[in-house]
Structure 1
Amino acid sequence: MKLIAIAALALLANATQAQIGQIDLSPAQAGRIHAERDPAAIRALPKDLKLVKPGTLTVAITAAVPPASTYATDAKTIVGSDADQAHQLAEALGLQLDLVSVAWPDWPLGLASGKYDAVISNVGVTEERKLKFDFSTYRLGLHGFFVRKDSPIQSIKEPKDIAGLRIITSSGTIQERILLEWNKLNVAAGRKPAELLYFDDIVAAKLALESGRADAHFNPYGPLAYLAAKEGKTRAVGTVNAGWPLKADVAVATRKGSGLAAALTVATNTLIHNGKYAQTLARWGISEEAVSQAETNPPGLPKF
């Protein structure tokens, strides 16, 4: 089954660029990949599980940046790869879904206080967060290097590749930490450090890259891949895991000790093995972020 899933990912990744430009942002979402009831996942639910609403999985999500989450053309329906994940998990567990829009900084308090059963909103696993929440992984936490389509740069995958470049990133972020660490390694090796250019607005960052005021843009992979495929003005030249030099995956967050995480992990692995997981990621143009297996509470990003 794992070989089937890997083959499906490889085939679907080739179609990513063609599909993403035609992404369906309609509220109907006719192309959404649906899950079937998963007996194994349902058996993994604790018998004393208390949901916010009986028979319903209440999931918090931040409709902020496509392709993970955004609003449909009706300006009220939440769509995206994270929204699809929420629908599939509810279906696998035989539950209705109540998708609740929240501001990203508000999810920890809302989840801890029992307002939601789970959070699916590009949340990375960290050791600090694991003290308060349980996690079920479903996507790699990737950051990507993107350049102008006509750039001579073909690959950025390690510290020496950024020496002397002007790189756009966001201040106070994981991606900034990675670049600063790479600069330290380059200086120690006698290479020129990269010049970091800080932009909080993706439109301003896009214009700076396209006008030649920067050599590369380094931020979370999904939004930049979506923009590149949609507009055709930039291209990816490398990815780095958010946990570099370690690994940090994106996960569904649930209340600590609720027992829900184990069932979500079983359901996600069923979707991986039957190929529906791969189809969903390809539908939103992020096949590169696929995990080969979902895990419950894996090692997370340590506190630096």
Structure 2
Amino acid sequence: MRVRRWLLSLLVGAVGAGQVLPASAQGAPFDLGPEQPGRIRAEADPAAIARIPKGYRFVAPGTLTVAIHPGSPPLGSYATDARTVVGADPDFAQLVADSLGLTLALVPVAWADWPLGLASGRYDAVISNVGVTEQRKEKFDFSTYRQGLHGFFVRADSKNGHIREPKDAAGLTISVGGGTNQERILVEWSRQAVAAGLKPITLQLFDDEAERLLALRSGRADAVVQPHAQLVFVAARDRDIRRVGTLSAGWPLNSDVAIATRKGSGLVDALTQATNGLIANGQYRQALARWGLEEEALARSETNPPGLPKY
């Protein structure tokens, strides 16, 4: 019952004024119902199917079994029935399965469990906001499908127009998760601002999203920084914050999100081909638009691109 009430609260949220939203998020909160009538579907892609290795054995015949962590809407969450997994990553998984001529089976997993489950063959792939890193590439293959972005969001009535580089954030107080990659980036931004003769960035460190947003809404912080998709969802739900900028999650390097498969399984080429087919026919962008994530679209999918180094 508690889970159901929490999910319903995500749908309703608090209504504010003056919010500027992506076109797909205007008018109503995102659909977290289990039926998902607006989900985009695809036709089978012969070019992608041809790249499935002849000897590849799917976990279940005729089925693409995909692990996903349902813990962060709009990327992945339990629906209002507290059972069905919905969101941008499930939508993309469905498109890929369709392209490969397969039925989709989603397996909800804890984030910490996906590497072992994938390596041991419990599922064919992981589609759950997994970033490409050089360390992960030692054990897994990757087909990129989305940019990894952090978002700068301010109150709807804020006079801050844009934050794209260190000088734009100089002198601001920013709410951010302690010990996160975002904190690492902003510490460097502050150093660069001071080196340019500007004011430093003041960081307010919180472990909890609710605390970060409270600091912003109460006026104690000028902006909040955390994964972009999470804040897109909050903005669409509550309508009292707005986006003023994004940056790569691996700044100053690019950080793409990818489908993860077992190293050397051979499935990666089919998944990359399927993704590029979906990009070409426009269904990829349509699926992202359902969840307000057009900003995270890639121009093309790549197999095992350079990943983030070990820090």
**Shorter-chain TM-score above 0.5:** yes
Following the alignment from structure 1 to structure 2, what is the Cα–Cα distance between the partners of residues 88 and 273?
Answer: 13
Report how far residue 232 of structure 1 moved.
1.0
Following the alignment from structure 1 to structure 2, what is the Cα–Cα distance between the partners of residues 152 and 274?
Answer: 39
Q: 2:53 aligns with which of 36, 46, 58?
A: 46
Q: 1:285 aligns with which of 274, 281, 292?
A: 292
Following the alignment from structure 2 to structure 1, what is the Cα–Cα distance between the partners of residues 182 and 112?
Answer: 19
Equivalent residue for 1:30?
A: 37
Following the alignment from structure 1 to structure 2, what is the Cα–Cα distance between the partners of residues 59 and 39?
Answer: 21
User: Scaled by the length of structure 2, what TM-score is found?
Assistant: 0.91
Following the alignment from structure 1 to structure 2, what is the Cα–Cα distance between the partners of residues 204 and 179?
Answer: 18
Q: 1:296 and 2:279 equivalent?
A: no
Partner of 1:97: helix, strand, or coil?
Answer: strand
Within 5 A, what are the aligned runs for 1:154-193?
Answer: 154-193=161-200
Q: 1:17 and 2:30 equivalent?
A: no
Following the alignment from structure 2 to structure 1, what is the Cα–Cα distance between the partners of residues 147 and 254?
Answer: 9
Partner of 1:160: helix, strand, or coil?
Answer: helix
**CA-to-aligned-CA distance 1:132-172 (integer Å, 9 cap, x gap):** 10000110101110001111111111011111211111122
Following the alignment from structure 2 to structure 1, what is the Cα–Cα distance between the partners of residues 22 and 60?
Answer: 41
Q: 1:206 and 2:213 equivalent?
A: yes
Q: Runs in 1 of length 4+ with deviation above 3 angstroms? A: none
The answer on whether the counterparts of 2:65 and 2:106 sit within 8 Å (CA) in structure 1 is yes
Q: 2:133 aligns with which of 114, 120, 126?
A: 126
Following the alignment from structure 2 to structure 1, what is the Cα–Cα distance between the partners of residues 22 and 34?
Answer: 27
Following the alignment from structure 1 to structure 2, what is the Cα–Cα distance between the partners of residues 167 and 224?
Answer: 14
Following the alignment from structure 2 to structure 1, what is the Cα–Cα distance between the partners of residues 213 and 159?
Answer: 18
**CA-to-aligned-CA distance 1:267-296 (integer Å, 9 cap, x gap):** 111111111111111111111100011111
Equivalent residue for 2:5?
A: none
User: Aligned letter for 1:64?
Assistant: G
Following the alignment from structure 1 to structure 2, what is the Cα–Cα distance between the partners of residues 147 and 169?
Answer: 13
5+ residue gaps, structure 2: 1-20
Following the alignment from structure 2 to structure 1, what is the Cα–Cα distance between the partners of residues 52 and 127?
Answer: 18
The answer on whether the counterparts of 2:151 and 2:247 sit within 8 Å (CA) in structure 1 is yes
User: Aligned letter for 2:166?
Assistant: P
The answer on whether the counterparts of 2:30 and 2:236 sit within 8 Å (CA) in structure 1 is no
Report how far residue 44 of structure 1 moved.
0.4
5+ residue gaps, structure 1: 1-12
Following the alignment from structure 1 to structure 2, what is the Cα–Cα distance between the partners of residues 141 and 240?
Answer: 9
Report how far residue 14 of structure 1 moved.
5.6
Following the alignment from structure 2 to structure 1, what is the Cα–Cα distance between the partners of residues 253 and 130?
Answer: 17
Q: 1:218 and 2:229 equivalent?
A: no
**CA-to-aligned-CA distance 1:13-59 (integer Å, 9 cap, x gap):** 9623316x342111111110001111110000111112222221111
Equivalent residue for 2:17?
A: none
The answer on whether the counterparts of 2:64 and 2:103 sit within 8 Å (CA) in structure 1 is yes
Q: 1:230 aligns with which of 237, 244, 248?
A: 237
Q: 1:99 and 2:106 equivalent?
A: yes
Q: 1:116 and 2:123 equivalent?
A: yes
Alignment RMSD (CA, Å):
1.3
Within 5 A, what are the aligned runs for 1:254-269?
Answer: 254-269=261-276
User: Aligned letter for 1:134?
Assistant: D
Report how far residue 242 of structure 1 moved.
1.1
Following the alignment from structure 2 to structure 1, what is the Cα–Cα distance between the partners of residues 216 and 39?
Answer: 33
Partner of 1:100: helix, strand, or coil?
Answer: strand
User: Scaled by the length of structure 1, what TM-score is found?
Assistant: 0.93
Following the alignment from structure 1 to structure 2, what is the Cα–Cα distance between the partners of residues 294 and 81?
Answer: 17
